[in-house]
Amino acid sequence: MLRNATEPGSANGELQTIQISVDQTAISPKISAVVCTCNNARSLEATLASLAKQQFPPVAGYEVWIVDNNSSDDTATVARKFTECEGSVFRCVFERAQGLSFARNRGTKEARGEVIAFIDDDAVADPDWLAQLWATYQREPSAACVGGKVVLQFPSASRPEWYDTRLDGYLSARDLPYGQARSEKDFPHGTNISFRKSELERLGGFHPLLGARMVGGVKLQGDETQLCLRLLRSGKSIWFQPAARVVHVVSEARLCKEYFLGLAQTSGYVRVMLDNHGAIGVSTFAQLRRYFLRYVRLCREHRRVSASLSPADRFSSEVTLRCCWASVWYCLVAKRKLRRLAQELETEQRRTNS
């Protein structure tokens, strides 16, 4: 088949393209794409179709792992459309342990590539997505993690009156210039992120308590953020390559206030974890006091001006308040439950490994 060979061609590591005939399946892959999915067959097909069209260096080769995380819809049928084709680069594995971190860790275990690239099951990759990621690792040999640009595709041209671009980050939108991360503010988002497999294995993978798990009615996220923080603290470099682009397709169901308020609650929890160097179930009295005073200040300001705000400004303020209160709640209540769950998981893992 025809594949596009790519070579560094600009100051930010973007690529120039030539066409060469090659069979990717005959090559040991240098990079593995992993798609973790649970009951999202309707959008999964577009994701896999975009990965089937990757223009990747013929001397490298790539593979795609579909990790089915207990799906009960048509996910298996969609996956077979890609895995059963002659010469397919697609493989599928079933992961029974529920949660994105479990699925990502299973994909890491199965992947043969030196680099593992993760993409959401409702995102569509540009044809040179994997090639841009791979070229960045070649350009930056010290890189342990490389992520890329995420643009949003909404279901229609109109948005609810309470929505504006300040909420884009909650839908995983991400766009930074090419460069190295200096703090968590520069980290890539999990919709479009990759790691060297050796670094994932060194750190023990994604923390199983994080990654879209429900704890006390709150969906915990941020497993890739915590992993990036651990990499940064261990002296490893993290890079952002905007040329490695994916489109995150936003469903109509997500454009409701409850969805964003739930994400704000999660964000408040993650804030405390980041403030404690990624530790789970930990906080200090000084942190609680700081979070609480900020919440009180913002609450007073919100009440003072709320009536005069536009619907978008008012809801943005409500989201910020929810995030601030979540950090307070984490310190007062949630951290104890998380600490207990972390201990239970550790005990269970020791029992499994013994």
**Pick from 222, 252, 282: which residue ends a domain?**
252
Are 192 and 333 contained in the same domain?
A: no
Count up the domains in the chain and report the number: 2
Work out the angle between the directed axes of helices 285-305 and 257-275 (0-180°, nearest 10). 150
pLDDT tens over the chain, length 354 residues: 333 333 344 445 554 432 323 355 556 899 999 999 999 999 999 999 999 999 987 777 999 999 999 999 999 999 999 999 888 999 999 999 989 999 999 999 999 999 999 999 999 999 999 999 999 999 999 999 999 999 999 998 789 999 999 999 999 999 999 999 999 999 999 999 999 999 999 999 999 888 766 666 667 788 999 999 999 999 999 999 999 999 999 999 999 999 999 999 999 999 999 999 888 889 999 999 999 999 999 999 999 999 999 999 999 999 999 999 999 999 999 888 888 887 887 787 777 776
Are 233 and 293 contained in the same domain?
A: no
Pairing of strands 90-94, 62-68: parallel
Q: What are phi and psi of 103, to 5 degrees?
A: -65, -40
CATH number, domain containing residue 96: 3.90.550.10
Are 198 and 283 contained in the same domain?
A: no
Question: What is the domain extent for residue 336?
Answer: 261-353
Could you tell me the pTM of the whole model?
0.89
C-alpha dihedral (66, 72, 76, 79), degrees to nearest 10: -40
